[in-house]
Amino acid sequence: MFSNLKEQPADKILALMQLFKDDPRPTKIDLGVGVYKNAEGVTPVMRAVKAAEKQLWEQETTKSYVALAGDPDFADAMIGLVLGDAVARDTVSAAATPGGTGACRQAFEMVKMANPDVRVFVSNPTWPNHLSILKYLGIPTVEYRYFDAESRGVDFEGMLADLADVKPGDVVLLHGCCHNPTGANLNLTQWQAVVDVLLKTGGVPMIDIAYQGFGDGLEEDAAATRLVASSVPECLIAASCSKNFGVYRERTGILMAVAQDKGLKGLTQGTLNYLNRQNYSFPPDHGARLVTMILNDPALRKEWADELEAVRLSMLGLRQQLADELQRLSGSDRFGFLSQHRGMFSRLGTTPDMVERLRAEHGIYMVGDSRLNIAGLNAQTVPILAKAIVDTGI
């Protein structure tokens, strides 16, 4: 049987990790993997997470299963964090998932159940795993223009023109904040225009929000998701706790389905439960329990929010330092977009050949589409990267 299997393509980011690991150069810099690292190059356990884990260790009495949809307290806490008071709680169904990837997978499964002929409109570019999952499920995709390689900003006119082709029952995949891989984001006025297109075409938005708190702040980063959820008849929201709580390996995520028709809640919640049962039965709970404890305890929540804000400001500082250093070395302001982007990533907008030269000649590792992880830098490595970019002729 096994001999009939076909070789699967290696994940490009994981392959890049191995290349970096095997590189003996002491000056090498890893800007490929999408995890936050502090100035010492460590992905730390956040203080509030440590404190919550200590409490949980002392208080936990069982490791028995939680419900199919996870702990309801986790759902309530995450709905509050992501949606605030934008929609009524009884319009939201939710199920815990193994990370944001699990939430995306369940969302795509759900829309295929609801509409076997669904098309999913995806930004060009988007997170590659979106496309991998959709391809595996046999769901056709339609690209809409998003990143302008000239300005390194959003091609908003192109985006709206492409979304005009959405048909009723199609799904439009949107990044709630901190677009991955580009770092270029819509403003709220532009988001309202997207809402208007969705209302006109009958498209259903699916929002992937994986970096809340990494862009302009916890509330600011949720504003677009709240606007969409409160404006359209139905939407899906896939949220991850990996980045903003630093619980990467705990696999903590949630899928929310918002329907303004409250009569649909039983159906949507039942479908979420069913999908969990078919794919993994009960979702992981350790990370979800920690997140719930933090969000529901005022002292822990403040400690977490303060540390997250420090992380956000650190990334903004690195962005500005890199933009300034590139301006100094190149004598040009063509890299000013780096300080305007938000989140962990920016896309340089250069060619795969140039990216390969950065790796081969300078030990700078980034994904072939020129996405670089700002959080992989520190004050000492920014000048090294800037010089490598200029010396390579980017």
Active site residue 302: no
Domain limits for position 363? 10-44+313-392
Catalytic one of 30, 127, 238, 288: 127
Query: Which DSSP letter does residue 183 get?
Result: -
Query: Are 322 and 218 contained in the same domain?
Result: no
The answer to whether 125 and 146 have CB atoms below 8 angstroms apart is: yes
In a domain, 268, yes or no: yes
Pair (256, 372) in one structural domain: no
Are 284 and 362 members of one domain?
A: no
* Tokens 């390194």 -> residue: 152
Q: Is 262 a catalytic residue?
A: no
208 is catalytic: yes
At 69 the pLDDT is 98
For residues 89 and 13, what is the distance between their CA atoms, to the nearest angstrom? Answer: 38
Residues 271 and 352 in one domain: no
192 with 340, same domain: the answer is: no
The pLDDT of residue 222 is 99
The per-residue pLDDT for 205 is 99
Given this model, what pLDDT does residue 349 score? 87
Under-50 pLDDT residues of the chain? none
| pLDDT at residue 13 in the model | 81
The predicted model scores a pTM of 0.96
The catalytically annotated residue of 184, 210, 259, 386 is 210
* Per annotation, catalytic residue among 69, 103, 239, 243: 243
- Whole-Å CA distances, 52 to 131, 269, 297, 350: 36, 29, 10, 43
**CATH number of the domain encompassing residue 357:** 3.90.1150.10
| CB hemisphere CA count around 45 (13 angstroms) | 12
Q: Does the annotation mark 257 as catalytic?
A: no
Residue 137: predicted pLDDT: 98
- Catalytically annotated residue among 30, 155, 170, 208: 208
